[in-house]
Amino acid sequence: MFSKACEYGIRASIYIGQQSADQGRRVGLRDIAAEIDSPEAFTAKVLQLLVRAGLVTSVKGPTGGFELTAEQLRTVTLRQIVLAIDGGEMLQGCALGLRQCSAQQPCPLHYQFLAIRDQLNEVLRTHTVGELAGKVHDGLGFLRQFS
Amino acid sequence: MFSKACEYGIRASIYIGQQSADQGRRVGLRDIAAEIDSPEAFTAKVLQLLVRAGLVTSVKGPTGGFELTAEQLRTVTLRQIVLAIDGGEMLQGCALGLRQCSAQQPCPLHYQFLAIRDQLNEVLRTHTVGELAGKVHDGLGFLRQFS
DNA sequence: CAAATACCGGATAAATTTATCCGGTAATCA
DNA sequence: TGATTACCGGATAAATTTATCCGGTATTTG
């Protein structure tokens, strides 16, 4: 559905959000990669994208790391994360790969997938990172496999 | 959403279906690739998968080519095509990449994506290649871009 | 039977995605 | 100020996906 990069990006930002909401704790890369079970260096690349897009905040040096500001917690949606990493392909492109699929010239599944895509967009648009962080904090959601 | 291979596979099988329904016309690779605007050799690989899976029929030699039997037209669903090419990843896997995402240990978006995935499965399960071929035949759907 | 046709299947190459490495820079702290 | 910490960013490598090539085999037709 999403690329690996995007999966890591979503999980990472939710974890960062959880720690930020929890007494404003800043988290380092090593910590993040361990907690969401992702490759450290690759996760760093993905986080750089999110930082550049203004969706995550980073601080260098000792006591540095990644965090979400109160505003980021409140306003950053999953949709923004996905767009920053994967672009709009999955959110807008034709399921059958037609370059211009529209009501004028629809693929045979245009309207069926329009409905699915609408629902996907709705889910991504209406969930903030902060909200999902809360869910993880309350033990109602997980970011990696616990055996 | 789907891989390129899968996009080609779906478009190709619908086109084959359309020609088969239309006076049982068998179609060759060159023809298919031209009609759905896909790379010929790669499309051949994808079609081999579908033939091996029993979803498409092929005939060698002159006057040979690909076709869908009456039964294939009636019974083969998009879901079977997608499974044969992309496997169950998109249809079953966790959107956030967790190896075992379930009600026992759900990702923070488990139930939201469950709904989306259900709808996707439903669309793929309830549409046969033959039905979509009819839609294309009636000019209600297209398999490539016509400028 | 011989020639032509068209799918089959293995090998190979190009492109993209995923993943790693390492020196550079900014920030903290003693 | 000097040492350490931790993100930044470019280069590189591995893995996967996408795409191509070409000889092999089955089938039709003359």
**pLDDT, tens digit (0-9, with 9 covering 90-100), for A20-56:** 998 899 999 999 999 999 999 999 999 999 999 999 9
CA–centroid distance for B115 within its chain: 22
- The integer distance in angstroms from the CA atom of B97 to the C1' atom of D17 is 19
What is the residue extent of each domain of chain B? 4-86+128-137
Q: Residue B106 carries which DSSP code? A: -
How far apart are alpha carbons B54 and B72 in whole angstroms?
9
For residue A123, the chain B residues in CB contact (below 8 A) are 109, 112-113, 116
Asked whether the predicted pLDDT for residue A147 surpasses 90, the reply is no
Residue found by looking up tokens 């997938």 in the block: A113
State whether the beta carbon of A108 lies below 7 angstroms from any atom of strand D: no
Q: What is the pLDDT of residues B49-81, one digit of tens each?
A: 999 999 999 999 999 999 999 999 999 999 999
HSE of B44, CA atoms in CB hemisphere, 13 A: 7
The CATH architecture one would assign to domain B4-86+128-137 is Orthogonal Bundle (1.10)
pLDDT (0 to 100) of residue B147 = 82
**Can you list the residues of chain B whose pLDDT is less than 70?**
none
